[in-house]
Every structure is written in structure tokens, then in C-alpha cells.
Amino acid sequence: MKIILTGACGFIGSCFLGYLNKKGIEDIILVDRINEKKRKNIENKKFKDYYDKDEFIQKIEEKRFDKNFDFLIHLGACTNTREKNVEYILKNNFIYSKKLAVFCLENDIEFIYASSAATYGKEEKNFFDEEENIENLIPVNLYGLSKNIFDLWVVLNKFHNKFVGLKFFNVYGTNEEHKGEMRSIISKGYEQITQTGKIKLFKSYRKEYKDGEQKRDFVYVKDVCEVIWFFMENRKKKGIFNVGTGKARSFNEVAEILFKYLGKKKNIEYIDMPIDMKESYQYFTQANIEKLRSAGYKNGFMELEEGIKNFIQSQKVHL
């Protein structure tokens, strides 16, 4: 099996690289824009070659890249939900994705790509991943918009019958450190508690949510890898699918679980939300995974308690 993996040095990409290695797969071309922090994510992992993102794009545009691949797993994107540069984010998340999709279509390569729950915006009931629903979504930040535009391009061209798009909800796990403030609250909270003994959570600005009671569908990265692998094993399954646990949990619960497994006394500080986030902040996300189940995915998803415990154990191994 020959694979191209974009975003390979990032969070989900590097975890999936490790997942593939455990299955004995090493014929993998990595594509990314590496730096010292991200380099750590691929240490001791096995792959055939590495290409800088720009070099890779140039090669496929000039039709100088090997076409003999089974899969292109596209996990590379600008994931900064606070990015304000329209040209930059559309170039990275829409135009780049289109070029890869066309490359796969022209060369009969299976294309699996990362979408996002950010496409759903602030709507707290409309988490349905049916293709006809995509044009009704109203993302509230540039990141979500860029992901939704690509989903819409896929659907309007009927490529959802040829590709697999995965709408990741709040993924957490190892190898997040390079993301800084864009890390999950699990990763940031672990660092805050181990270094200062307390965790910082955003205050709520809606009366129906108390401070820290904002909720997310937190999904462990190992489960995400299992879902990607499912679609690699079941090539006839196509479409756009939510990837989450189907169960929303509050930030307060995350904090309590972290304190419990770190053996620390609970100490939560509620802080002001940055002004630029207030209007676009999602107070609730919860994946509807009926479509994923209907496609035949039967594996369970880790409960938040198990996932956080697993994450803490993995962090101690890295020390």
C-alpha cells in the first residue's frame, strides 16, 4: 500500500503516521511544512520520503510527481480558528485541497480529507452531515468557512461519490504541543495544571450557560485514526461524515477529570474571552454519527475519562 500523507508532521497527521507504522505500513510520502516543534512528532516513525508542501504542489502541478499511489490522506490545513487573513486561509484550506483532489481524480487515487465541525457555526441543533445540508450551514469564522467551501465544492461537483470527507469534532491527544493556543483544552489544561496547579477556562457570556459549562464533542485522536483506517479498508464507502463521540461534555468536566487523574486539588480560574472570539464562539457541539454508523463503522469511542487518562499516561512516557 502506497500512501501520500499531508499535514504529516502535525497533530492528527503524525498520530496517523504512527498508527500506519503499527500496521506495518512504511511506504508513505510525508508532505508538510516542518519546524523544530513539529519535527518531534515524527521522530522514530518510519516513512519513505518527505516533501515540503510548496515543492509537492509544484511537482503535481507540473505533472512531475509519481502517480502510483493508493491513497492521499489530506490532513494538512491552517487550523487557526482565529486567522483573519482571507487570502492566506483560502489558499491553504480551499485552493490547496482542490489541487490535491483533482490530482487524485486524474490519477485514480483514493482521496480522504479532513473537514471540521467548525463548518456548523453557532447553530446548536443542526449537526447533520447529509450532503444536502452543507449549503445551509453558516460558519462564523474564516477557518470554518474555508472548510465548508471545500465541502460545498465537493458536493456541487458530485465528488462526494468519489471522496471521503471527515468532519472532525474536538480532537485531542498526543503531539498537539506545537499548536500553541490552538491546542485542545485537554492539552492546554494538562500543561497549566502540572505547571501552576490550576486551569483557565473561558467565562460564559450567555445566561443559559454557566461559566465552564460550554460543551464540546471531545474525540480522542486514536479513535480518529480508527475511522480513517475504516474508510481505507472499505473503499466503496464514500461521502462526508461527522467524526465525534456523539456525546457533548463540558469544559468543567474536562477540568475535573484532569485534576482527578493528576492527583491535584480542583482549582479553576474563569477568564475573559478574547473580544474577537465572542461573536464566533461555539457554546455547544455534538456530532450526529448516524451516517457513520450506517456506513458500517461499529467501533466504540473512548469516553472522555478513558481518553484523558490515556493522554496523561502518554505524556508521562514522552517525558
Q: Which residues are catalytic?
A: 143, 179
Consecutive H or E run containing 98: helix 96-107
| Grid coordinates given for 292 | 457513520
What is the 8-class DSSP label of residue 146? H
Q: How far apart are CA 223 and CA 227, in angstroms?
A: 6
Q: How far apart are CA 133 and CA 141, in angstroms?
A: 19
Number of H helices, E strands in the chain: 12, 13
What is the 8-class DSSP label of residue 141? S
* Helix ranges, 197-282 (H): 221-233, 251-262, 275-278
With beta carbons less than 8 A apart as the criterion, state whether 246 and 300 touch: no
